[in-house]
Structure 1
Amino acid sequence: MFQLFVFMSLSFWLLTGVFADSGEVKSVMEGDSVTLESGVAELQEEDVVTWLFGPKKTQIAEVDTDAAISSTSDGDAVGFRNRLKLDNQTGSLTIMNTRIADSGVYQISISGKKKPTTLNFSVTVYAHLPVPVLIRDCSSSSSSSVQSNCSMLCSVVNVSAVSLSWYKGNSVLSSISVSDLSISLTLPLEVEYQDNNTYSCVINNTISNQTTHLDIKTLCQPCPATSTPDPQTPLHSSLHPSPRPPSTTPSNRTSGTSSPTTSSPNSQLILISAAAAAGSLISITIVGIIWICKNSKKTDQKGKCYRMLTDL
């Protein structure tokens, strides 16, 4: 019995601590203002109000009634320059022109003649929601079984802590939620071309929403047919070049008179080779006759040799 009492006491203490830490929840759209109420109708003499922000509990504002101090200069160092406003009568704090980085826990402490009090505020600053974009999806329309249907995609980019949903009238058809930062979402929908119902894609968070309505007649046009190229048909003229026409030699014709025919280089080469061979043969013959004449001992043979040379 004693153990049960201890367990319940600890549980109550833990729960009390959790709820005390969570405090009041505030949601605001980026750029708007939010006021954190002190819970006091009017500050008394000797009251000191201190505002803290973030996990490190950095002081950002202070009110001291005795010293007549009301300052927000401490918040300049953590990004609140010229964006904090203190109510000197109540100690409440207003954050102007809010930013995403302003999200977090704020704490107010009030001390004075009365018992000190502490309040926590959990502030969430939401970015402005983008308008959902509807895109015709033709990638899933190639099958003959779905040619009578229209496939659509609803997309948003760079969103966090939102839900994206397709509605048919006021009924939710499908939905997807995300809490990650800067993520893109896409949600498909398939309807018939002749469908007369009202469809819309909605993105929403805690404090706002954006809606885009589907106009079936405008967006759900039949996808263009994709044809398979004939393997016998050239894909490009460069792959199958056409035959080049025969080249023509420039004509030297003038006034109907043809130019003389010139022999080819091969014929000239043959003639030159033949002439050279004949010349070589004659030279050899002459040298042979001269040698015979010089070596001949008889006078009549020498005379014949010289006559042969004369004939050549």
Structure 2
Amino acid sequence: MELTILKKMFDLFSFFCLFSWSLAGVFGVDEVKSVSVTEGESVTLNSDTEIQTDDMITWRTVQNNNLIAKIKENNNKTDFPDERFRDRLKLDEKTGSLTIMNIRTTDSGLYRVISSRSKTPLYTFNLTVYARLPVPVISRDCSVLRLYQNCSLVCSVLNVSDVTLSWYAGMSVLSSISVCDLSISLSLPLEVEYQDKNTYSCVLNNPISNQTTHLDITQLCKTCSDYIHCCGFTEAVIRLALSALVGVATVAVLVYDVRSRSLQQKKREQTPSNSD
């Protein structure tokens, strides 16, 4: 029994060693550096080394092992063979650090830097590129006419991913909604009183940046006794026209019902009874 347990422990230890060795073969070092940046900006992946005599520094993408950049110490000759990065890469002549300019969301991924002297990766970088955040738009929610009641608002953003949209009252979060990966439109409602004195703001954020729009209650939350000033002339006219149509239809139904009842009453009066 003891020998069996020892054998299992040895097998487990061997598996752990082989697994650790395989990870070292993939990443070259224990550390994977995480780097985040917003699209359109520039980012530098630092090799934290100095190019030695007859040394060559190469950069590759881990996903498909594509060579994207290399530099040799003896002549400082650089080469950027990957067309996806045309005119967007730069190598430091002393360290071989890689700078990616005008970065795109499609540039996200794992990057590995290798020195020809060591034959093993110096570092692996996990690069995440976030899309630029739009400014949230706060508007009056005119889907329901609310005379002399609370002010209905909605905060909206279009075509976003990996973000959170939130309503704040001061520094406190009132509500929020998040989306990952998919590029969709988000909207978040809020109701406030017309005379509310709190400070409200709508915030769109991802892990590295945010966009904020502050609510001006005096501008958006006017008393809706004059509906045109609340939701705009065109929408007001449309809604008033629809209300008028509904009113006319209601009156027509009532008139029809009254006439139908009157005709039925006359028919009953004109029909002789069975006793006659």
Same fold (TM over 0.5): yes
Give the SS at the match of 1:101.
helix
Equivalent residues in 2 for 1:153-302, closer than 5 Å: 153-223=154-224, 224=227, 226=243, 228-231=246-249
1:53 touches 1:107 (CA, 8 Å); kept in 2? yes
Match for residue 114 of structure 2 among 109, 112, 121? 109
The percent identity for this pair of structures is: 51
Report the secondary structure of 1:218's partner residue: helix
> What residue is the counterpart of 1:135 in the other structure?
139
Match status 1:65 vs 2:73: yes
Q: Any runs of at least 4 consecutive aligned residues in structure 1 with deviations exceeding 6 A, and if so which?
A: none
Change (3 A) 1:163 1:8: farther
Deviation track 1:217-236 (CA, whole Å, cap 9, x = no partner) reads 211234537454234879xx
Indicate the structure (1 or 2) with the bigger Cα radius of gyration. Answer: 1
Q: What does residue 238 of structure 1 align with?
A: none
Structure 1 unaligned residues grouped into runs of 5+: 235-312
Q: Which amino acid aligns with 1:194?
A: Q
> Which residue pairs with 1:52 in the alignment?
60
Whole-Å separation in 2 of the counterparts to 1:9 and 1:183: 48
After TM superposition, give the deviation of residue 155 of structure 1 in Å: 0.4
Higher relative contact order (CA 8 A, sep 6+): 2
Which among 39, 43, 51 is matched to residue 51 of structure 2? Answer: 43
Rate the CA distance shift 1:9–1:130 in 2: closer, same or farther, 3 A.
farther
Q: Provide Cα deviations, 1:169-224, integer angstroms capped at 9, x if missing partner.
A: 00011111111232111111111112110000000112211111111121123453
1:205 aligned partner, one-letter code: N
Alpha-carbon distance change, 195 to 232 in structure 1, aligned in 2, over 3 angstroms: closer
What number of residue pairs does the alignment pair up?
Answer: 226
Mean Cα deviation higher: 207-216 or 163-172: 207-216
Contact 1:22 1:122 in 2 (8 A): no
For residues 44 and 64 of structure 1, do their structure 2 counterparts lie closer, same or farther at Cα, with a shift above 3 Å needed?
Answer: same
Amino acid across the alignment from 1:35: T
CA distance in 2, matches of 1:171, 1:13: 50
**Pick aligned residue for 1:95 from 97, 100, 122:** 100
Is contact 2:47–2:122 with CA below 8 Å preserved after alignment?
Answer: no
**TM-score relative to the length of structure 1:** 0.64
CA distance 1:219–1:10, change in 2 (3 Å): farther
Report the CA distance shift for 1:138/1:222 in structure 2 as closer, same or farther (over 3 A).
farther
Q: Which runs of 5+ in 2 are unaligned?
A: 228-239, 253-276
Alpha-carbon distance change, 21 to 138 in structure 1, aligned in 2, over 3 angstroms: farther
